[in-house]
A and B are shown apart, each in its own frame.
Chain A
Amino acid sequence: MTAAGINRIAGKGRLTPANTVRFTFDDKSFTGLAGDTLASALIANNVHLVGRSFKYHRPRGVLSAGAEEPSALVGVRRDAARRAPNIRATVQEIHDGLDAVSQNRWPSLGFDIGAVNDIASPLFSAGFYYKTFMWPKVAWKHFYEPFIRNAAGLGVAPTEIDPDHYASRYVHCDVLVIGGGAAGLAAALAAAETGAQVILCDENAQVGGALRFETEARLDGLGGFDWAEQAAGRLAAMDNVRLLTRTTAFGYYAQNFVGLVERVSDHVAAPDPDLPRERLWQLRARRVIIAAGAIERHMVFANNDRPGIMLASAARMYLNHYGVAVGRSVGVYTANDSAYAAAIDLKKAGVDIPAIVDLRDAPDSGVAEEARALGIRVLTGHAVTGAGGKLRVASMTVEPAKGTAKAEIIPIDALLMSAGWTPSVHMFSQSRGKVAWDEASERFLPGTYAQDCVSVGACNGTDGLEASVAEALAVGETMAKQARPGATTSGVTIRVDGEGKWSGGMSGAAPGSTPGKVIKAFVDYQNDVTAKDIRLAVQEGMHSIEHVKRFTTNGMATDQGKLSNLHGLAIAAEALGRPIPQVGLTTFRPPYTPTTFGAIVNHARGKLFDPVRRTPMHASEEAAGAVFEDVGQWKRAWYYPRSGEDMHAAVNRECKTVREVAGMFDASTLGKIEVVGPDAAQFLDLLYTNPFMKLGVGKLRYGIMCREDGFIYDDGVVARVAEDRFHVTTTTGGAPRVLHHMEDYLQTEFPHLKVWLTSTSEQWAVIAVQGPKAREIVEPFVSGIDLSNEAFPHMSYAEGTVCGVPARVFRMSFTGEAGYEINVPADHGRMVWDAIHERGAPMGMCLYGTETMHVLRAEKGYIIVGQDTDGTVTPHDAGLSWAVGKKKTDFVGIRGLKRPDLAADGRRQLVGLKVKDGKTVLEEGAQIVANPHQPVPMKIIGWVSSSYWSENCGQPIALALIDDGFKRMGETLHVPMPDRVIEVEVCDTVFFDKEGGRLHG
């Protein structure tokens, strides 16, 4: 016994007794050693009970010593914000001050009210969600769901924003080796010695894999782990190798793209604040060598989940690596040779081994004799049919596997089990390789490869260390040479002497947990799935493993069934009376082990989640008190409240001011495309419904763009700058897709046209000055353009200078007032804006934002594509038939518009709505019915697309898409709302200045 736990055995393990570490578990203080995992340190302190299970709240302990752990899940707290749930105690390394808590228990781990679920377990049999809670309907909401939500589940998610940061790296290499056991190290050495760029990753803190616990083998004359350390040192010293420990390959994607996540600081007591918590590696490898090893299976028998029952290899790891005996009196239940080695190592360390129970009648490799020679009782042909004890295993019930001899109850305080080894084909399967059932060894092995990768060692079904190393050396060199032309011969050799015995194994339910018994023999620990549940699923008609899996949730927990898949499959196969390969294996999907959102999201959060686009005038608008709204990635000035004004008051004032004096608006976010070339007019003629061939230089035209189906896709004003040059504007949100759409037609349908397209959205700042005094305000700044009505009427274009900088001036209006849109190079935008503002403000001009822009355009019935259209609206439906060139023989959408349904009467059409009470502003999106007294569900005949209070009209105004709307002028319709029905009258879409005279003022 040492200070670091009563189960610590002096002289065993590789940790340094002097390096003690203090940590807490459930607020109780413990001492461990540097290098311990939380699991090894707790077991050293004789703590096996670490959590409660998901569904039945059964006491659970540490089952494994690695990433496959399904049971020992804990919460780890660093501070108020850093509370990570469902951390595997077998993976979390301890550090001074580590604060871990058990989960899923109340009020305490030892006494848990939720454990009543275990007694009530018939309620929670497989498929219980689908059966038990169907009726009565109301009970689901008020009783079943809250009850289940409270009772089920594991850790609690943190509530505060994650203060940690996560790093991200992209990297390429010739050869990636996944797994740093004997095979992985050998493959990496062979590959690296050719000169190839090699990356080796291993999920554990140290390389070595099974060499960390097995003691038989000697490589190059060294003990296995010593050799592994030396090999890692040799690799780390090479310039062409990157060795990553604590790094899990979690996802294998197309074309050898592999995601790795490196745990950088979770094991450090006081991490440097500059260190990330984790680092995501996005890696592209020319070749991948999978050396993922194998995972030991448990035995399926009654109460096989009692704390203190664990995998044999795990017990061996705790002893040989951590120097911890998992108990004082340890039973062994196996169908495999390798469990004997665990018993023998423990026996030699002074631990009592009351019995090894071997399901096999005659294990043939001599392991039984070896154990007996040490004085261990070996019961071959026997089964453990039950485990006594509740919070810790206290006994095992042993019976002959066949026959009816009396059961013997053997007191123990820990029980090791091994049903054999499952090759870890996860990464291979993720690479879309197809596994194949190997009848001789009864296991799934890599079959057909889909990518440039090769599996070596235990994950490839290669038995024996010598064979694994030889295979890995050959593959390492071959893959390096394939990946890197000019790679030299590596010539690495590794001498292997002695090795452990690993043969034997079984899958499915062990005797005593066979059909008919009312027991809990767990197949999937994390989701609390028993052998009985799987049989029940088959009995209820699930014949495919995919259905059995979903019905029982076997293998669907965060451990992805690393222990349970094969057992579940074997039990289902037995119940179905079909061979295992015919029942099939479910597909493995990323991530291999739970991966944090932090690592995946990485830097893409907060300000870095999405770029923010600001116009050149943003700072001036901010200074003027603008409130901004998000329009896509753009920040747009929404309205400019003055002291004491709310949004409503500010917008009313802005709307009045624009119509009475003038207003200035930042339209820079408009999409802009320069269309240039001898065939530019012809191209636009094909892309827009309007005719463009005859548009004169210096003239503007409002254009509508359709898709081939005839529905409105975008709109905007087009200026003819020169015979062969157009300045096209698009909607703010539509700029990229419109350019894409144009490029598509230009490159693939009309490649004969000589046209060049350039996005100029960000090159021009656009300042709209609108209102009766617009001309008076801008005139002094403009040179080279005669702004008089006669020389520069509505829908004209001219180039000149404004404030001394080159400008493209559009005489146009989206307000219904006379006005100008002044385009200046973006860098000059703010200067021009400020100059006009300085002159205009004393004359009564206001700044106005997008809200006022929306109201003013709605007063004029000008549509906004995407608001007043929804992808099913034709130009005719929108009342814009005038914009469709009648004489044109071709344009995009010409045929679509002739489709019978699009030409039919009674289509949903854009109209105006007046609210009869004269004061209620309708909700945008509200549905419209003809008769509000009809039974629910009512027949909807349309919906409100735009709705505002119009201060200029002194009433609310709305646009709506209504069935056969054009023929309903004057009709009264109804807008049902939750509390009342609003009466509306259909009118035309122009509410203000119907004649349009103000445009020409």
Chain B
Amino acid sequence: MLLIRCPYCEEERPELEFRHAGEAHIARPENIADISDEEFAQYFFYRDNPKGMAFERWRHMHGCGRFFNAVRHTVTDKFVMTYKAGEPKPVLEEPQEGQSAP
């Protein structure tokens, strides 16, 4: 079971308290009624499927109830960081894969 740090509660809690909520940093167009089919498809249907850093939305469903964003590495399944909704998308370098034994 993963441990996830809720940026609002400021502590790590078990995965069971959380719910995944899809890709992060996809804003609903303000003029949504007027966008083209192509723009709507990009907004609603198309999603990244990266090998590496994935930006995701999570909700601390059975905790504070807040939505927040997380960066998770899809190969190691490790959470690189979590941050509050509305904060800018962080610029990150690929982390080293694993570490050596001490």
Chain A residues with a Cβ under 8 A of chain B: 253-255, 257, 282, 284, 432-434, 446, 448-450, 454-455, 475, 478, 482, 708-709, 740, 743-744, 747-749, 751, 889-890, 894-896, 898-900
The closest CB in chain B to the CB of A890 belongs to: B33
Smallest beta-carbon distance B97→chain A, Å:
7
The closest CB in chain B to the CB of A448 belongs to: B98
Q: Which residues of A contact B59 (CB under 8 A)?
A: 740, 743-744
Q: Which residues of A contact B37 (CB under 8 A)?
A: 899-900
* Residues of B23-74 whose CB lies within 8 A of A: 27-28, 32-33, 35, 37, 40, 43-44, 57, 59, 61, 65-67
The closest CB in chain B to the CB of A707 belongs to: B44
* Residues of B84-102 whose CB lies within 8 A of A: 85-86, 97-102
| Alpha-carbon distance between A446 and B102 when the two chains are bound, in angstroms | 12
Q: Which residues of B contact A255 (CB under 8 A)?
A: 1-3
Q: Are A454 and B101 in contact (CB under 8 A)?
A: yes
Instruction: Give the 4 A-B CB pairs with smallest separation, nearest first.
Output: A448-B98, A450-B98, A895-B32, A747-B67
Q: Which residues of B contact A254 (CB under 8 A)?
A: 1-2, 77-78
The closest CB in chain B to the CB of A460 belongs to: B101
| Alpha-carbon distance between A478 and B102 when the two chains are bound, in angstroms | 9
A-B contact pairs, 20 of them (CB 8 A): A253-B1, A255-B2, A282-B1, A433-B98, A446-B101, A448-B97, A449-B99, A450-B76, A450-B98, A454-B101, A455-B101, A709-B44, A743-B65, A744-B21, A744-B59, A748-B57, A748-B85, A749-B28, A894-B33, A896-B40
Q: Which residues of B contact A448 (CB under 8 A)?
A: 97-98, 100
The closest CB in chain B to the CB of A254 belongs to: B2
Smallest beta-carbon distance A214→chain B, Å:
26
Q: Are A895 and B67 in contact (CB under 8 A)?
A: no
The closest CB in chain A to the CB of B29 belongs to: A895
| Alpha-carbon distance between A253 and B14 when the two chains are bound, in angstroms | 13
Q: A434 touches which one: B1, B57, B61, B98 (CB < 8 A)?
A: B98
| Alpha-carbon distance between A895 and B45 when the two chains are bound, in angstroms | 13
| Alpha-carbon distance between A63 and B67 when the two chains are bound, in angstroms | 55
Q: Are A890 and B32 in contact (CB under 8 A)?
A: yes
| Alpha-carbon distance between A740 and B1 when the two chains are bound, in angstroms | 23
Q: Which residues of B contact A455 (CB under 8 A)?
A: 101
Q: Which residues of B contact A744 (CB under 8 A)?
A: 21, 59, 67
| Alpha-carbon distance between A418 and B21 when the two chains are bound, in angstroms | 54
Q: Are A895 and B40 in contact (CB under 8 A)?
A: yes
Smallest beta-carbon distance B24→chain A, Å:
9
| Alpha-carbon distance between A150 and B21 when the two chains are bound, in angstroms | 47
- Say yes or no: A747-B85 contact (C-beta < 8 A), given A709-B44, A740-B59, A895-B33: yes
Q: Are B33 and A889 in contact (CB under 8 A)?
A: yes
Q: A748 touches which one: B44, B67, B98 (CB < 8 A)?
A: B67
- Overall SS of chain A's interface: mixed
Size of chain B's interface in residues, with CB distance under 8 A?
A: 31
Smallest beta-carbon distance B31→chain A, Å:
9
Smallest beta-carbon distance A861→chain B, Å:
30
The closest CB in chain B to the CB of A746 belongs to: B67
| Alpha-carbon distance between A60 and B66 when the two chains are bound, in angstroms | 59
Q: A894 touches which one: B2, B32, B43, B77 (CB < 8 A)?
A: B32
Q: Which residues of B contact A454 (CB under 8 A)?
A: 101-102
The closest CB in chain A to the CB of B39 belongs to: A895
| Alpha-carbon distance between A617 and B55 when the two chains are bound, in angstroms | 46
Smallest beta-carbon distance B50→chain A, Å:
18
Smallest beta-carbon distance A737→chain B, Å:
10
Q: Which residues of B contact A751 (CB under 8 A)?
A: 85-86
Smallest beta-carbon distance A750→chain B, Å:
9
| Alpha-carbon distance between A682 and B98 when the two chains are bound, in angstroms | 49
Q: Which residues of A contact B98 (CB under 8 A)?
A: 433-434, 448-450
Q: Are A899 and B1 in contact (CB under 8 A)?
A: no
| Alpha-carbon distance between A740 and B86 when the two chains are bound, in angstroms | 18
| Alpha-carbon distance between A900 and B38 when the two chains are bound, in angstroms | 12
Q: Are B44 and A449 in contact (CB under 8 A)?
A: no
Q: Which residues of A contact B78 (CB under 8 A)?
A: 254
| Alpha-carbon distance between A559 and B102 when the two chains are bound, in angstroms | 31
For the A-B complex with A708-B44, A740-B59 known, give 6 more contacts whose Cβ atoms are closer than 8 Å.
Answer: A254-B78, A454-B101, A455-B101, A708-B32, A709-B44, A744-B67
The closest CB in chain B to the CB of A428 belongs to: B101
Q: Which residues of A contact B3 (CB under 8 A)?
A: 255, 284
The closest CB in chain B to the CB of A170 belongs to: B14
| Alpha-carbon distance between A743 and B60 when the two chains are bound, in angstroms | 12
| Alpha-carbon distance between A257 and B57 when the two chains are bound, in angstroms | 23
The closest CB in chain B to the CB of A891 belongs to: B33
| Alpha-carbon distance between A751 and B33 when the two chains are bound, in angstroms | 19
Smallest beta-carbon distance A22→chain B, Å:
44
Smallest beta-carbon distance B12→chain A, Å:
9
| Alpha-carbon distance between A260 and B71 when the two chains are bound, in angstroms | 30
| Alpha-carbon distance between A890 and B34 when the two chains are bound, in angstroms | 10
The closest CB in chain A to the CB of B85 belongs to: A748
Q: Are A449 and B67 in contact (CB under 8 A)?
A: no
Smallest beta-carbon distance B93→chain A, Å:
19
Q: Which residues of B contact A743 (CB under 8 A)?
A: 59, 65, 67
Q: Which residues of A contact B57 (CB under 8 A)?
A: 748
| Alpha-carbon distance between A896 and B40 when the two chains are bound, in angstroms | 8
| Alpha-carbon distance between A435 and B69 when the two chains are bound, in angstroms | 33
| Alpha-carbon distance between A896 and B32 when the two chains are bound, in angstroms | 9
The closest CB in chain A to the CB of B96 belongs to: A448
Smallest beta-carbon distance A283→chain B, Å:
11
Q: Which residues of A contact B67 (CB under 8 A)?
A: 743-744, 747-748
| Alpha-carbon distance between A254 and B19 when the two chains are bound, in angstroms | 17
| Alpha-carbon distance between A895 and B34 when the two chains are bound, in angstroms | 7
Q: Which residues of A contact B65 (CB under 8 A)?
A: 743
Smallest beta-carbon distance B87→chain A, Å:
12
Q: Are B61 and A740 in contact (CB under 8 A)?
A: yes
Q: Which residues of B contact A748 (CB under 8 A)?
A: 57, 67, 85-86
| Alpha-carbon distance between A899 and B27 when the two chains are bound, in angstroms | 19
The closest CB in chain A to the CB of B97 belongs to: A448
Q: Are B66 and A257 in contact (CB under 8 A)?
A: no
| Alpha-carbon distance between A478 and B99 when the two chains are bound, in angstroms | 16
Q: Are B35 and A895 in contact (CB under 8 A)?
A: yes
The closest CB in chain B to the CB of A478 belongs to: B102
| Alpha-carbon distance between A482 and B61 when the two chains are bound, in angstroms | 32
| Alpha-carbon distance between A585 and B48 when the two chains are bound, in angstroms | 31
| Alpha-carbon distance between A432 and B100 when the two chains are bound, in angstroms | 13
The closest CB in chain B to the CB of A446 belongs to: B101
